[in-house]
Amino acid sequence: MTEQDINAGGRVAIVGGGLAGSLLALSLARQGVGVDVYERRPDPRVGLSEGGRSINLGLSKRGIQALTEVGLIDQVMPLSVVMGGRVIHAPDGSTRFQPYGKDRGEVLHSIDRNELNRLLLDHAQRHPQVRLHFNHRLERIDKARRELEFDHDGEKVRAQPAWVVGADGAFSRARQEMQRGERADYHQEYLEWGYKELSLAALPGGGSQIELEALHVWPRVHCFFVSHPNRDGSHTLTLFLPHEGPDSFATTRTPDEVRALFNKYFPDLIPLLPNLVDDWVSHPTGSLITTRTAPWSMDEWIVLVGDACHAVYPFYGQGMNSAFEDCSALMAAFAAHPRDRRAAFIAYEQSRRPHTDTLAELSKANFIELKQKVQSFWFLARKRVDAA
Ligand code: FAD
């Protein structure tokens, strides 16, 4: 063992116990590394999960590969719903199914974010060398002392880990602190559109009100809905809508304004969403950002993974998949540089950043393409209605 082995000099601190943080805790624990996970939220396995925040996600090949590597795929798959294609809902209420290529094994899997996170935390915690610290918010990093400072219910908690992983998401405090006063690039773009999640309930006796095993899209010129299925037959709908301007989140606040928006763009959804107004008011409006940054690490002491180093717009459905792929790539870099953590961090970044930069561009392009396709689809639909 040398100063720079992954398990030399004490325990590793992972800041953020979300998707990437919990998967990496499990991966490191499988290598015998002692891990402390510090998560600002309460334990998601206790009490009610947080509503209205990107409840389910599309899991695809890259994410599946990372989950396979930690031996969890057989536990994950039964939690997911296969999506064999997408159903397009036209403004006149008609639908069209576009298959992905199920015969060639080309499907997506819809999975509940919280369920997946709980599973990863459970499996990480089965390793006695993993400790989970909830309600611990990273506040500050003293780089000279190599010390982390957390807020734990109003009290300051300090830790001096052997090394650190910043897995604390798109607005990463670990990244900010790591780059403070250093020569570092950081670029952030906000999309002028936001999102809100609503729930389409299952039928009273079970089963789904719309095709279960599909991604559903309600494309409109001005806005669109995407929905992912849940195992109980319900669907999680995500509305993408401009923040400002006519027919925006800013102008859709009162019950009448909500009903007017849906009457105008999504009349077919109104009978399916009896709690529309209550859900609209109680669910937060989310913002979407793209970030790019460099470097992803400092010395042999701290490294970033997931949204902390590359948040992308969700229109390509690859943010989580790519965060999981980071974890695989980091573990592969440790295997390639077993005695040199700094070299492993650099190799990891070099192997990943070109791909995540491309993903950021693809995610942006897909939004534009979606808007253009939306338009052509709208005109096609209108033509059909006019011709009828
Ligand atoms: P997160 O999941 O955000 O986890 C970060 C964790 O760090 C959180 O638990 C947070 O509480 C914690 N944290 C934050 N700050 C601190 C702090 N200071 N101290 C301690 N802890 C902290 N991806 C897909 O692959 N497929 C999809 O279909 C998909 N759909 C999406 C739809 C929407 C609307 C959105 C917004 C995103 C979507 N994504 C999708 C992207 C996906 O959600 C993210 O890429 C993924 O969650 C990144 O994982 P992460 O662990 O890096 O970050």
Give the count of alpha carbons within 13 A of 281, CB side only: 9
The pLDDT value recorded for residue 221 is 78
The pLDDT value recorded for residue 101 is 81
Among 84-88, 124-128, 180-184, 298-302, which stretch is predicted with the lowest mean pLDDT?
84-88
**Cβ atoms of residues 241 and 258 within 8 Å:** no
Q: How confident is the model at residue 368 (pLDDT cuts 50, 70, 90)?
A: confident
The pLDDT value recorded for residue 79 is 96
Count Cβ atoms within 10 A of the Cβ of residue 93 and give its class: 0-12 exposed, 13-18 middle, 19 or more buried: exposed
Is the model's pLDDT at 377 over the cut of 70? no
Strand, helix or coil for residue 212: coil
Q: Establish whether the linkage from the previous residue to 295 is cis, with ω within 30° of 0.
A: yes
Name the residue of 24, 37, 40, 172 to mutate for ligand 1: max ligand atoms within 8 A of Cβ.
40
Among 43-57, 107-121, 212-226, which stretch is predicted with the lowest mean pLDDT?
43-57
Could you identify the atom of ligand 1 that is nearest to the CA of residue 306?
A: 52
Give the pTM: 0.94
Task: Indicate if ipTM > 0.85.
Answer: yes
Cα–ligand 1 centroid distance for 370 (angstroms): 23
Could you identify the atom of ligand 1 that is nearest to the CA of residue 168?
A: 7
| CA distances from residue 232 to 60, 76, 134, 236, 365 in whole angstroms, order as listed | 21, 16, 29, 11, 33
The pLDDT value recorded for residue 198 is 96
Q: How confident is the model at residue 385 (pLDDT cuts 50, 70, 90)?
A: very low
The pLDDT value recorded for residue 386 is 38
**Cβ atoms of residues 132 and 125 within 8 Å:** yes
Q: How confident is the model at residue 62 (pLDDT cuts 50, 70, 90)?
A: very high
Is the model's pLDDT at 311 over the cut of 90? yes
The pLDDT value recorded for residue 1 is 42
Class of domain 12-47+55-80+112-187+291-366: alpha beta
Compute the average pLDDT of residues 190-198. 96
Compute the average pLDDT of residues 214-231. 92
Please give all residues whose beta carbon lies within 6 A of any atom in ligand 1, as ranges. 15-21, 38-41, 54, 57-58, 137-138, 167-169, 173, 195, 238, 286, 306-308, 314, 317-321, 323
The pLDDT value recorded for residue 372 is 58
Give residue limits of the domains in the chain: 12-47+55-80+112-187+291-366, 189-287+372-387
Could you identify the atom of ligand 1 that is nearest to the CA of residue 311?
A: 45
Is the model's pLDDT at 7 over the cut of 80? no
